[in-house]
Chains A and B, each alone.
Chain A
Amino acid sequence: MQAEYKYAGRSGIVNGLNSANMAFASNTLREATFFHGELGQPLLLREALAALYQVVVSDFKYRPPDRTAFFAWLAEQDRKFLATIGIQAQQVRQQLEQLEARLSDLDEARNVRLKPFHRARLQFFNHIYENEYELSYFLDPVITVHPGEIFFEAFSRDESSYARVGAKYEIFSKVEQLECGTTNIDFSAKLHGELERMRSYRRTRFSVDPGGFTVALNESAHHEKKIDLPDSWLMGFLQVHSAMTLSLTRLRLEPADLHAICQFLRTHKAKKSPRAMRYELEPGKPVRVVFEPWEHTIELSPKSVYDGAKAQSIRTWGRDRLRMLGRLIPSCRGIDVYLAGFGMPTMYVLDLGPVNFTLALSGWSDNDWAGDTKFHLLTRRLTLGVPELLRVYDVLKKSKSLTDSAVAMQTGLGVEQARSGLSYLCQVGRAICDLSGGVFLHRDLFAEPFTAKQAAALVSQAAEEVNLQAKAARAIYDAGNVKIIARRAVSTGFKLSGSSKGADGIRVRPQLHVDHAGHIIEATCTCEFARKHQLTKGPCEHSLSLRLAHMSRLADEDRSVTFIEEGSGGTT
């Protein structure tokens, strides 16, 4: 997908003696979105945006070192060795050794002579990196102006980390005018440098405006970017919110806990596998974090006491990415950690007061958000018509921020249907899930309006079950090859055990733990796929078919309850 950005001005900060003007140039190709206000607590925003920038430029993907020079050297050594084998004469050998020594001296002298050149070249490359590279490679963050807050969202360069900075209006001492909407902002390394100069003793104006600094700088700042937006980036942006709607295990940490984790990661570099970071959760006890392969344990502060029902150990990978939060530790009051499970994404929500910072990490660094993990399969889906979906969208767009039950109330749909609708909208970039507030927010990731046609496409796509596992699950369910053996209501939802027979004719035993909304919390199965990948590549078709059977039974129960309620209403 070709992403086009057109800015009428440049983003920047003009720092005066007593006042500063911070202006973000917004993408003029998108709907008119603007905000003008004055920052009351600029330091908090400075720290949060600095951390956001760290995420934007981060790239933790493993790239094998370039060993061309080493292999060339190795080949040269081989050649020399072979050459000396044939030389019998002592005199020739000595002469060769002298020449080698001379050559070595000359090489050294050359290196010394070329040192300034190499240094200058390095400086040049750094200059290019800072000034040119970002023009074509950085994916500009998305900014959304909401009635209650402004939030910035961005993906890291390796597409494995998602960050969101939400700034509530309490951070502004004055809000002058605003127009809600979503747009891209021009975010550069230079701007990051300027952000570092934000201080509370300067009156700082904050504006998101198409013009940016065109007038102020009196220069032709009009510029455009055309970035070939990777599909994975787009998919990742959508998947991350699907992951957030899953049933997640929540922990509460103190800043000192995160500091201890980051410090350990900074000072220790694992040279061999396993490199997981394990959360050891025991009911009523503080959480313990174990670093592999050293098995080094950090017991977190008493605030992190786990209140779950049973002990569990959750392994997460790509732990070095947590270091991106280092800058925020002094400013934050507490950290909420959301764990999806073994090898699954983790979310860290940092509470900075009026600002919150969400960092969502994929299962591991090399696994971007658009990888094999199909989080939307873990969420439950009810079949929804186009009018219902559009109704959910319209209600959310109007109110901007709603809980699922509020959406249900305003649309007249059942809560389950409202949740499904919201889940669809998250999946197509029309809504996001705010973990810190526990609400859904309206946010159009795309400039094009959400039309009935798109809604119809989405619904029919969902009905078609494009994913292989989902298709297979539907086939199992339709063929009546799945049955629920045991179904037990627990405080968090239902625990199910069943029997399912796939296309291969082998009957397997899926076991599910789903919440009240139908989201899969845990899933195991005796099939090969589940044994091999657990949930890292999404649930297997047997687990999904068991959920379908459960949902079907739940819908029957819902109907009967509704009928009773309606019947009782009529008689009163």
Chain B
Amino acid sequence: MPPPATHFYNPTNTDRIAVISVQESWGNKDQFLIQVARGPKSGKLSNSTAYGPYPTGELADRLAEVSRILQAQGYLQSGVHAALHALQSSKAKVRARAARLLGLKSCKDYVEVLIARVPQATDDTCSIMDALGRMGDARAIPVLREQATRKLLSRRRSAVEALRNLGDAEGLAAARQRTLEQLGPKVRDALNSADESPQKAVESAANLALALNGSDKMFLGLYADFLYEWGTPVAVGAAVTALGHAPFEQAFIWRYAKSVLKRSMLRSDFATFGWLSHTIEYHGRTATSTLANVKSGYDGVQRSIRIFGFGTRSYIRRLCWRYLREIARYRPDLYSRSAAEVLIHYSQADADHPMGKFGAFARCYLLNQILYGASLRLKIDGRNLRTKLRSSAAAAAPSSVREERFPQLWDAQPRAYLRVLGAAKLAEVQAFAYQAITQRHRAVLQTASLNELLPLLHVEYEKTAELVLEELSRRFDPAKPDWALLERLCHVQHPAVLGLAQKWLRETAPLWCTDVTRIVAFLGVENSLARLLAAELVIAHAPDEHSFRLELSDRVLAKLRAPESSPQWHEAYAKVGRELLLTQIDKLLSLDEILTLLTSESIAVLSVASALLALHPEAAERIGLEKLTLFAQHNLAAVRQAAHAMIRAAEKLWAKDPSVLLVLAESNWPDTRAISFELIRTRLAGSDVGYNGLIGMIDSNRVDVQNMGIELARKHLERYDVSDLISRLIQHPHPNVRKYALQLIERHLPPGAEALEKLKGFCRTGIFDYYPHRALKQGIIRLLGRRGTEDAKQAEVASSILTEFLHLKGRADFEEVLEALVRIKLAHPQAVPSVTLPQTEASHAG
């Protein structure tokens, strides 16, 4: 792209205007013609001369040569004549503006002129020093060093930043030394101990910010400005962090926040500029100004000044946009970068309630200037800095019209779109960058590195992630896979990337599943889902070659033996080990080594060890029943399963003494209990667990164990003393056993009152149970009624028990009890004492 035309001016010549422009040579795109046109006015250029054609590489030198020729003829760049004239003005404001212009135009020829102005400069000193810094001429260093020692903040700031722009290391070192002396001890120590290496920079900045916040609040702003002046990434990071939460409406903060903003402009530190300009605008919407008595560093007079007032806030917002405009004009290559740094900080937190023609972001001045500055449907009010629609009908943005300011500058430096795409929080801003990239600058995405692309996946704007995934898909060819890219994606913890990585893993599985090194690498990636998929694919696609599997087993075993780098890191290796390589790994390990693996803290390793153990049922004897019992009650299901397999196989060990099965029946784990029940049912079918074993099972607090015991009791009842069994079961506190006890009682309770007397507690428990079982209650009442009619003694016992239940409030209970009592009374009138019924119950009885 050819450079823009340059205008020259000579007030003494007839042709006062000269314009140098560059044009493509006709028919040759790589050759350029330099055209110099002259005339009395810019609209009347007639005297034209063409030079060239020149190739692109030669163009800059030739342009400089033509400029020199014009300067020799008395022409100067437009505006310079006026600026030089204005430098002689009696007004400091005019002189300052002139110096600023010379600086922006980088007119190095007038460095001496500006240096000469410094001694007699008053309020224009800072502008002159800023201009000298921008010009980049080392001749200004001595005068700037002298100014850098001034106490006045504005002078010192301009001088130090100018020295920085000139690259004067010695001058900066002296300034830093002075800064160090003025910092508080805590901050100074933290700064001295800060590690500037990229790995430690973030941590050091956080520590320094902590020290800064821990210092006297009155000095927070001052120290932040000092640190920003210090200029290293750690110091700048700490200053920005500390200012982020500081109250701008306080004088001791605002003075220095403003200073940092000005420094960032002089230093072209767009990141800080963008953040601070947005922060000021954001705070400005909610913060209220304060009045403070401030002593001026300029004249030493103390005045009552409004801090962070509306006027100040508006001035700063305008200043920021003016700065961006100046960049667009004098440093056009930097505009898109600087604007991008401003845009990325806007978020939904900046939104207001939309009202009428004012949108949600009407008060975001910089955002609107950058994004909609050239819009015909929006109007930015220069007084109150608010943006509104010109017409309500034009609310929707036209798709074909670009509304941003300086679109050509964005197009000239389109990589700024990537920055916006990766960091912007606002959907509107994201959409702006997305549209630009998809419609005009797709090459930006195609040339972006993986490090630039991957962060874009984490933005909230869905289309951006889709765009990146599309680009990644474009780059990956399953036939010739980029393994580094695939491995890198497998480490990313992002659902969309995971999907892509899983897809590629599947597509390329036949290729990588034959390479041991690649398998081991994919099994150890950070994303757990990716590594589990890799494990499944390996299991499905790994070649069935002995040597291959042996080598893979060796590598997998080595990984399993190494400690876990992150939680569950072993799981994919363990899965492959268990499901694919178990026999190979088994060949590599002795039983002792397997038992050693069983002591590992990694669950995955334990699962492999358990599976290996299950391959050796013959080892049960060597391990011993005691240890197997412990394994069978292990917290890990896999270990328990292995133990189950071994216990099944080791029938010889427990057949004679099945007490181990009774221990397992009381396990906390249902699967172990189930195994125990299964073995008792199937392997001990011919025999039983013995009376004590049976009682032990029924005595359990677990219903399934009780049921197992009851099942055995039913099966082998003829072998036991039923009276004794009844006397034991009636003491059980669980209702589940009571039901069976009642069945036994009904069928096998010996006759006579003595046996019935022993059931007193059981009957009371059954009837007074807090969670009653109707069948049990009725059964007990029926039993007492029946036994009470058999003989007088039993009638006495039964009636004494039943009488207690007469006061039960349940109507059915009462009636059943009463009926039983009446039957007993009719059968044995003398054995049953007379019963007095309460009024209500008597009426129920009717």
* A interface list, Cβ under 8 A from B: 15, 17, 43, 46-47, 50, 193, 196-197, 199-201, 254-257, 259-260, 262-264, 266, 286, 298-299, 301-302, 323, 326-327, 329-331
Provide the B750-764 mask, 1 if CB < 8 A to any CB of A, else 0: 000000000001001
Cβ distance A176 to chain B, nearest Cβ, rounded Å: 25
> Across the interface, do B727 and A262 meet the contact criterion of CB distance under 8 Å?
no
Which A-chain residue is minimally distant from B837 (CB atoms)? A302
> Across the interface, do A50 and B733 meet the contact criterion of CB distance under 8 Å?
yes
Complex Cα spacing A47 to B769, Å: 13
> Across the interface, do B807 and A199 meet the contact criterion of CB distance under 8 Å?
no
> Across the interface, do B733 and A256 meet the contact criterion of CB distance under 8 Å?
no
> Across the interface, do A200 and B731 meet the contact criterion of CB distance under 8 Å?
yes
Complex Cα spacing A104 to B819, Å: 59
> Across the interface, do B701 and A329 meet the contact criterion of CB distance under 8 Å?
no
Which A-chain residue is minimally distant from B700 (CB atoms)? A197
**Contact A330 B809, CB 8 Å, known A197-B699, A299-B840:** no
> Across the interface, do B701 and A323 meet the contact criterion of CB distance under 8 Å?
no
Cβ distance A359 to chain B, nearest Cβ, rounded Å: 15
Complex Cα spacing A384 to B790, Å: 68
Which A-chain residue is minimally distant from B695 (CB atoms)? A17
> Across the interface, do B770 and A327 meet the contact criterion of CB distance under 8 Å?
yes
Complex Cα spacing A17 to B838, Å: 48
Extra pairs beyond A17-B695, A256-B806 (15, CB < 8 Å):
A43-B761, A196-B733, A201-B731, A255-B804, A257-B807, A259-B768, A262-B770, A263-B772, A263-B810, A266-B771, A301-B807, A302-B838, A327-B770, A329-B770, A330-B769
Cβ distance B813 to chain A, nearest Cβ, rounded Å: 10
Q: Which residues of A contact B765 (CB under 8 A)?
A: 330
Q: Which residues of B contact A196 (CB under 8 A)?
A: 701, 733-734
Complex Cα spacing A196 to B666, Å: 14
Which B-chain residue is minimally distant from A325 (CB atoms)? B770
| Cβ of B599 under 8 Å from chain A | no
Q: Which residues of B contact A255 (CB under 8 A)?
A: 764, 768, 804
| Cβ of B321 under 8 Å from chain A | no
Complex Cα spacing A46 to B838, Å: 34
| Cβ of B696 under 8 Å from chain A | yes
Which B-chain residue is minimally distant from A131 (CB atoms)? B668
Cβ distance B495 to chain A, nearest Cβ, rounded Å: 14
Complex Cα spacing A196 to B836, Å: 38
Which A-chain residue is minimally distant from B696 (CB atoms)? A17
Cβ distance A219 to chain B, nearest Cβ, rounded Å: 13
Which of B696, B761, B772, B809 lies in contact with A260, CB distance below 8 A?
Answer: B809
Q: Which residues of B contact A263 (CB under 8 A)?
A: 770, 772, 809-810
Cβ distance A365 to chain B, nearest Cβ, rounded Å: 19
Which B-chain residue is minimally distant from A254 (CB atoms)? B807
Which of A199, A266, A301 lies in contact with B731, CB distance below 8 A?
Answer: A199
Which of A15, A46, A326, A331 lies in contact with B770, CB distance below 8 A?
Answer: A326
Which B-chain residue is minimally distant from A201 (CB atoms)? B728
| Cβ of B805 under 8 Å from chain A | yes
21 contacts across the A-B interface (CB closer than 8 A) = A17-B695, A43-B731, A47-B733, A196-B733, A197-B699, A197-B700, A254-B804, A256-B805, A259-B768, A260-B807, A262-B770, A263-B810, A266-B770, A299-B840, A302-B836, A302-B838, A326-B770, A327-B770, A329-B770, A330-B767, A330-B769
| Cβ of B49 under 8 Å from chain A | no
> Across the interface, do B701 and A256 meet the contact criterion of CB distance under 8 Å?
no
* Residues 699-735 of B at the A interface (beta carbon under 8 Å): 699-701, 727-728, 731, 733-734
Complex Cα spacing A263 to B771, Å: 8
Q: Which residues of A contact B727 (CB under 8 A)?
A: 201
> Across the interface, do A301 and B809 meet the contact criterion of CB distance under 8 Å?
no
> Across the interface, do A46 and B733 meet the contact criterion of CB distance under 8 Å?
yes
Q: Which residues of A contact B547 (CB under 8 A)?
A: none
Cβ distance A172 to chain B, nearest Cβ, rounded Å: 18
Q: Which residues of B contact A47 (CB under 8 A)?
A: 733
Which of A266, A301, A326 lies in contact with B838, CB distance below 8 A?
Answer: A301
Count of chain B residues near A, Cβ 8 A: 31
Q: Which 4 A-B pairs have the closest CB atoms?
A: A326-B770, A256-B807, A260-B809, A330-B765
**Contact A259 B733, CB 8 Å, known A329-B768, A329-B770:** no
| Cβ of B692 under 8 Å from chain A | yes
Cβ distance B703 to chain A, nearest Cβ, rounded Å: 13
> Across the interface, do A330 and B764 meet the contact criterion of CB distance under 8 Å?
yes
Which B-chain residue is minimally distant from A127 (CB atoms)? B668
Which A-chain residue is minimally distant from B809 (CB atoms)? A260
Which A-chain residue is minimally distant from B841 (CB atoms)? A299
> Across the interface, do A298 and B809 meet the contact criterion of CB distance under 8 Å?
yes
Complex Cα spacing A176 to B609, Å: 51
| Cβ of B218 under 8 Å from chain A | no
Cβ distance A252 to chain B, nearest Cβ, rounded Å: 14
* Residues 788-812 of B at the A interface (beta carbon under 8 Å): 804-810
Cβ distance A331 to chain B, nearest Cβ, rounded Å: 8
> Across the interface, do A17 and B692 meet the contact criterion of CB distance under 8 Å?
yes
Q: Which residues of B contact A15 (CB under 8 A)?
A: 699
Which A-chain residue is minimally distant from B807 (CB atoms)? A256
Complex Cα spacing A326 to B727, Å: 24
> Across the interface, do B728 and A199 meet the contact criterion of CB distance under 8 Å?
yes
Q: Which residues of B contact A199 (CB under 8 A)?
A: 699, 728, 731
Which A-chain residue is minimally distant from B767 (CB atoms)? A330
Q: Which residues of B contact A301 (CB under 8 A)?
A: 807, 838
Complex Cα spacing A35 to B765, Å: 31
Q: Which residues of B contact A299 (CB under 8 A)?
A: 838-840
Cβ distance A501 to chain B, nearest Cβ, rounded Å: 52
Complex Cα spacing A259 to B692, Å: 35
Complex Cα spacing A327 to B733, Å: 10
Q: Which residues of A contact B695 (CB under 8 A)?
A: 17
Complex Cα spacing A199 to B701, Å: 13
Provide the B432-446 mask, 1 if CB < 8 A to any CB of A, else 0: 000000000000000
Complex Cα spacing A43 to B733, Å: 9
Q: Which residues of A contact B806 (CB under 8 A)?
A: 256
Cβ distance B532 to chain A, nearest Cβ, rounded Å: 16
**Contact A323 B770, CB 8 Å, known A199-B731, A330-B764, A330-B765:** yes
Q: Which residues of A contact B810 (CB under 8 A)?
A: 263
> Across the interface, do A264 and B809 meet the contact criterion of CB distance under 8 Å?
yes
Q: Which residues of A contact B699 (CB under 8 A)?
A: 15, 197, 199
Complex Cα spacing A299 to B810, Å: 13
> Across the interface, do A193 and B701 meet the contact criterion of CB distance under 8 Å?
yes
Complex Cα spacing A33 to B727, Å: 36
> Across the interface, do A260 and B808 meet the contact criterion of CB distance under 8 Å?
yes
Which A-chain residue is minimally distant from B765 (CB atoms)? A330
Q: Which residues of A contact B839 (CB under 8 A)?
A: 299
Cβ distance B541 to chain A, nearest Cβ, rounded Å: 27
Q: Which residues of B contact A323 (CB under 8 A)?
A: 770
Complex Cα spacing A498 to B692, Å: 74
Which A-chain residue is minimally distant from B805 (CB atoms)? A256
Q: Which residues of B contact A259 (CB under 8 A)?
A: 768, 808-809
Cβ distance A44 to chain B, nearest Cβ, rounded Å: 10
Q: Which residues of A contact B700 (CB under 8 A)?
A: 197
Select the residue from B731, B768, B809, B836 with max chain A CB neighbours within 10 A.
B768
> Across the interface, do A330 and B808 meet the contact criterion of CB distance under 8 Å?
no
Select the residue from A197, A323, A330 with max chain B CB neighbours within 10 A.
A330
Q: Which residues of B contact A257 (CB under 8 A)?
A: 807
Q: Which residues of B contact A46 (CB under 8 A)?
A: 733
Complex Cα spacing A124 to B839, Å: 54
Select the residue from A259, A298, A329 with max chain B CB neighbours within 10 A.
A259
Q: Which residues of A contact B728 (CB under 8 A)?
A: 199, 201
Provide the B78-98 mask, 1 if CB < 8 A to any CB of A, else 0: 000000000000000000000
Cβ distance A116 to chain B, nearest Cβ, rounded Å: 13
Q: Which residues of B contact A17 (CB under 8 A)?
A: 692, 695-696
Q: Which residues of A contact B696 (CB under 8 A)?
A: 17
**Contact A330 B807, CB 8 Å, known A17-B692, A46-B733, A266-B770:** no
Complex Cα spacing A374 to B531, Å: 66
Cβ distance A117 to chain B, nearest Cβ, rounded Å: 15
Select the residue from B700, B771, B807, B838 with max chain A CB neighbours within 10 A.
B807
Cβ distance B801 to chain A, nearest Cβ, rounded Å: 11
